[in-house]
Amino acid sequence: MNIEIKAIEYYLPLRTEDGKTLTGDNPDWRIAEIEQKTGILTRHVAAIDQTATDIAALAAEKLFVSGIEKEEIDFLILITQSPDYVLLTSACILQDTLGLKKSCIAFDINLGCSGFVYGLAIGGALCESGFGKNGLVICSETYSKYIDKSDRVCRPLFSDAAAATLLGSATSDNLGPFELGTDGSGFSDLIVRSSGARNANKNSEERRLFMDGAKVFMFTMDAVPQCVMNLLKKSQKTIDDIDLFVFHQANKMVIYNIIDKLKIPKKIFLNSHRVGNTVSASIPIALKDALQQGCLKKGDQIMLIGFGVGYSWGGCLIRWGDM
């Protein structure tokens, strides 16, 4: 696609949690072992009255402060699994909050860790098909609202965050190909039960995030390497042709195992130790950090791979522009 990422900004809630916080609530946790395994040292937690739409607006406003005109935004894609309401679409609230024009297309995508790649595919298709020249792909998650304080599996991992990406038409082929896939047989391994219509009448105590870490890990070790190899085959490239791999920042153990299985040289970017697993926002946040740390330059060939809840996965190649 003749599409490029023109800008990325992100917002992290002010409240943070570290190992000391977790130990204070759960004195029996072996926090040093948990941190050694996950590599995650700090996570961000949204305020009680702060929703995914609220932090999405804060991330987007950073783009507008940098000089991007709201009138130029033709579509708004909000990727979130923690919407303000079951019904209505949170993107409609966000369109009004940001003061975008009424001709702006706005809709939600209910996807987690693969969501950013799907957002690029759909946003790119909107641009290519003439529905608009510029659009926002905003990933915003407040998983903390679903997590019990005593949950040893989920609490040390997941972090709240929002990332706003400006996507627009370009004069060269910068985006793609894509590799997308789904295995819904694993839907119950990462889920918030009693959160929708199927179990709406059940006890609210069941409205907590549940993750079978072992099964999710096994899915990842099977699906992600295959996704990478399929993407290389589609693009007629090899691992050596890729300048930087940016995986969904699940945790250190997951990414290191992917690297070992694929025998990828040390051209990956990691920032989960600082921000945690921010679900759909993890890849755009990593891209922004990689740029600021001098790990990206114009013309670099980057592979993005998202994977997780669903089960769902998505990968794509990006030729990095002059953002």
Q: How far apart are CA 158 and CA 192, in angstroms?
A: 14
Q: Are 10 and 164 in contact (CB under 8 A)?
A: yes
Select which of 127, 154, 227, 248 is catalytic.
248
SS3 sequence of the chain: CCEEEEEEEEECCCEEEEHHHHHHHCCCCCHHHHHHHHCCCEEEECCCCCCHHHHHHHHHHHHHHCCCCHHHCCEEEEECCCCCCCCCCHHHHHHHHHCCCCCCEEEEECCCCCHHHHHHHHHHHHHHCCCCCEEEEEEEECHHHHCCCCCCCCCCCECCEEEEEEEEECCCCCEEEEEEEECHHHHHHEEECCCCCCCCCCCHHHCCEEECHHHHHHHHHHHHHHHHHHHHHHHCCCHHHCCEEEECCCCHHHHHHHHHHHCCCCCECCCHHHHCECHHHHHHHHHHHHHHCCCCCCCCEEEEEEEECCCEEEEEEEECCCC
Select which of 44, 104, 113, 127 is catalytic.
113
CA contacts within 13 A on the Cβ side of 167: 33
Q: For this structure, is 113 an active site residue?
A: yes
Q: For this structure, is 44 an active site residue?
A: no
Q: Calculate ∠ Cα 223-163-231, nearest 5°.
A: 30
Q: For this structure, is 26 an active site residue?
A: no
Select which of 134, 251, 271, 277 is catalytic.
277
Residues marked active site are found at 113, 248, 277
